[in-house]
Amino acid sequence: MSSPKTLKSPLIWLGGLIVVYLGYPLAAFAVRFVTSPQRGFHVPGLFPALWVSISGATMALALSTLFGVPLAFLLARSKGRVAALVGLVVQIPLALPPLMSGIVLVYIVGPYTFLGRLSGQRLTDSMIGVVIAMTFVSSPFLIVASRAAFASVDQGLLDVAATLGHSEVSRFMRVAVPSAGHGIRAGMLLTWLRAFGEYGAVVILAYNPASLPIYTYNQFSGRGLPTTLAPTALALGVAVVVVLLSRVKLPTSSPRATMPTTKKAPEVVKSQPVRFALDHHLGSFHLEMVHNSNARHLGVLGPSGSGKSALLRCLAGLYGSSPGPVWYGDQSVEALAVERRGVGYVAQGFSLFPHLSVWRQLMFAKGATPELAAYWLEHLHLNGLESRLPSELSGGERQRVGLAQVLCRSPKVLLLDEPFSALDVPVRLELRRELRRLQQETGLATVLVTHDPEEAAFLSDELMVIADGRVLQSGTSRLVFSRPASAKVAKLVGVENLNLARVATSSSLDIGGNTVAINATDIAPGTSVLWSIRPERVSVSSDLERGEASNDQSHALLRGTLSDVADTGTAYDLFVSVGDGFEIHARTWGSLDVNIGSRCRVELDPDAISLWAVPTIP
């Protein structure tokens, strides 16, 4: 029961008023129907009229569904003036009074029109005319509802289906329609009920055979209310039955019935490294990238908006051939449609089909076999989850299902769009190790895009750092991490303690007026450089411990003030302010002997200092 506080809500009262307004006439009719001695069931023509309305509405719904649902899908996926114009035309019958809809139709299918003469004047005053009138006034309900439902379908689902080998028609039937099923079903219900109850357009275009609304009006105008009780009651009964039927969920077959008892391991394939030369415009964004290395596992690192996902979509063929040449190994796939490229594409954000169980997800790919699906089900620890829907899975389970799904197609190349970004740290680390194991076992070439430098290094042989649709640097992971080409690259790969300095001598740096010892370098004195050192190679201690020894210039030594200490649970992260805008980050696992705000000495291990010349600071 509702609480007293809930009953005081104005929403309850507003909602209640409309319920009373809609329900009271129905209740009054029910009382009159039960108490009336004459209801009109004996009047000739009642049940034929009912059949005309039922069969006409059903045929109108069939036509609207056959032509309207595909149109709704196209309108939901299209932009521009043509789509806007078509959408306007589709909605005009909703605003047009039914009688005027009939008049408009007379100008198209009337006896003296081209179509009317061509059909032998059989398009009016016939069952065909009834269906034409019903379809005209009711089909916009289905198109509008379906368009809204299709607009909410994740484009990533259609992209994944394409990379799994499904054509455009297959994607529409097997992904878009089931995903938009609730909206389509609601539109079909509205369309049938609207067609069933249509009077104005039908009476103008096809007075005979009489539909139930026409029959009811004739009884009302000729005999009064008593004989209208029967057709009204039948109409209410039909409406209730149709509404209840629309809510019935069709049973789905159990996936366990088709699961095999044997499993078949995938064949180890010859690695087909991905190469490309892309030049593609996405609105105002320009993607221009070239990669010619034969590295088996390429990692693409970049910030949000850098073009990482767009790059993968180009490689998968989701933008067609316009981005430019792409090779899988020695095979040029530029001219191949996405469904024919044989690529495995794991989209960002767990793009699983919401209406399919785990087993049906694995069997969805073209060419998937039950034996191979059973293998990946076991290999990726998904046993016992076969009948679950994506909504019933954890994040880690969904990610495993996504991997298993693309692996069931035995792809040539595996494209991974930030596959672990939405996972908790323990799950992310576990799946990261699982993916590396898969790379080694299957021999698949992979392209991974991520914003996590550690993840990129762990799963890649070669690293490409990108920003604003351009390649900033590429090479082996060790080269990119140890020798970033610019300050921007260094920040993107997570280099810590990155600062500017000037080479004082071949064995020392001038850091803000402080001379720091380094290993010998061949960079000319006076050259501006970027230098860095890992936090764990920095030692921080009290400035009082060694007194004047701190003036010894033979050590990589700085002095500053401890500005912050962060306890990470397993270590302490210390931040020492050395000068204006210059801060050193240190990490220690021992006890602290210095307090925040106190002076301290910072010792740098010369062997751990990396530096490189910077002719122009980005």
State whether 278 and 239 are in the same domain.
no
Inter-residue contact 227 to 49 (CB < 8 Å):
no
3-state secondary structure of 200: helix
State whether 109 and 152 are in the same domain.
yes
State whether 194 and 151 are in the same domain.
yes
Least confident of 238-252, 549-563, 598-612: 549-563
Boundaries of domain holding 591: 496-613
Q: Is the pLDDT score of 100 beyond 80?
A: yes
Q: Is the pLDDT score of 36 beyond 90?
A: no
Give the mean pLDDT of 475-484.
82
β strands within 506-543, DSSP E: 508-511, 514-517, 528-532, 538-542
Q: Is the pLDDT score of 316 beyond 90?
A: yes
pTM of the model: 0.80
| Residue 379 covered by a domain | yes
| Residue 139 covered by a domain | yes
| Residue 175 covered by a domain | yes
pLDDT of residue 54: 96
Q: Is the pLDDT score of 58 beyond 50?
A: yes
State whether 464 and 353 are in the same domain.
yes
State whether 501 and 477 are in the same domain.
no
CATH label of the domain that carries residue 383: 3.40.50.300
Using pLDDT thresholds of 50, 70 and 90, give the confidence band for residue 348: confident
Using pLDDT thresholds of 50, 70 and 90, give the confidence band for residue 258: low
| Residue 528 covered by a domain | yes
Give the mean pLDDT of 35-43.
85
State whether 447 and 513 are in the same domain.
no
pLDDT digits (tens, 9 = 90+) for 526-581: 888 888 888 888 889 887 655 544 444 445 788 889 999 998 888 899 999 987 76
Greatest mean pLDDT range, 144-153, 437-446, 604-613: 144-153
Helices (H), 513-597: none
Q: Is the pLDDT score of 583 beyond 80?
A: yes
577 burial type by CB count under 10 A (0-12 exposed, 13-18 middle, 19+ buried): middle
pLDDT of residue 226: 85
pLDDT digits (tens, 9 = 90+) for 399-412: 889 888 998 988 98
pLDDT digits (tens, 9 = 90+) for 263-312: 777 666 677 899 999 999 998 999 999 999 888 999 999 988 899 999 99
pLDDT of residue 215: 93
Q: Is the pLDDT score of 425 beyond 80?
A: no
| Residue 150 covered by a domain | yes
Cis (ω within 30 of 0) for the bond into 111?
Answer: no
Final residue before a domain boundary, out of 482, 509, 537: 482
Structure tokens at 57: 């509405």
- Tell me the C-alpha distance between 313 and 347, whole Å: 9
Q: Is the pLDDT score of 612 beyond 80?
A: no
Residue 463 CB coordination number (10 Å): 26
- Tell me the C-alpha distance between 475 and 293, whole Å: 9
Question: 341 or 616, which is more confident?
Answer: 341
Question: 514 or 329, which is more confident?
Answer: 329
pLDDT of residue 361: 93
DSSP letters, 128-166, are: HHHHHHHHHHHHHHHHHHHHHHHHTS-HHHHHHHHHTT-
Count how many domains the chain has: 3
pLDDT digits (tens, 9 = 90+) for 150-167: 999 988 899 999 999 999
Which strand (E) or helix (H) includes residue 355?
none
State what percent of residues in the chain have pLDDT above 90.
44
* Residue among 43, 52, 49 at smallest CA distance from 223: 43
- Tell me the C-alpha distance between 362 and 382, whole Å: 11
State whether 520 and 467 are in the same domain.
no
State what percent of residues in the chain have pLDDT above 70.
92
Final residue before a domain boundary, out of 435, 450, 482: 482
State whether 377 and 350 are in the same domain.
yes
pLDDT of residue 251: 63
State whether 319 and 444 are in the same domain.
yes
CATH label of the domain that carries residue 586: 2.40.50.140
Give the mean pLDDT of 585-596.
86
Query: Phi/psi zone of residue 367: left (φ > 0), alpha (ψ -120 to 50 degrees), beta?
Result: left
Give the mean pLDDT of 593-614.
84
CATH label of the domain that carries residue 221: 1.10.3720.10
Tokens 């029961």 belong to residue: 1
* DSSP state letter for 443: -
| Residue 278 covered by a domain | yes
| Residue 5 covered by a domain | no
Q: Is the pLDDT score of 242 beyond 50?
A: yes
| Radius of gyration (C-alpha) of the chain in whole angstroms | 36
pLDDT of residue 7: 63
Rounded to 5 degrees, φ, ψ at 612 are -155, 150
Final residue before a domain boundary, out of 482, 510, 525: 482
Least confident of 47-56, 113-122, 318-327, 332-341: 113-122
DSSP letters, 375-397, are: HHHHHTT-TT-TT--GGGS-HHH
Query: Phi/psi zone of residue 555: left (φ > 0), alpha (ψ -120 to 50 degrees), beta?
Result: beta
Average model confidence (pLDDT) for the chain?
A: 87
Q: Which residues of 184-195 are buried (b: 16+ CB within 10 A; e: fewer)?
A: bbbbbbbbbbbb
State whether 331 and 433 are in the same domain.
yes
pLDDT digits (tens, 9 = 90+) for 169-216: 999 999 999 999 999 999 999 999 999 999 999 999 998 899 999 999
| Residue 318 covered by a domain | yes
State whether 432 and 342 are in the same domain.
yes
State whether 96 and 180 are in the same domain.
yes
Q: Is the pLDDT score of 389 beyond 80?
A: yes
pLDDT of residue 115: 87
Calculate the alpha carbon distances from 560 to 296, 499, 548, 598 in Å.
Answer: 46, 15, 15, 9
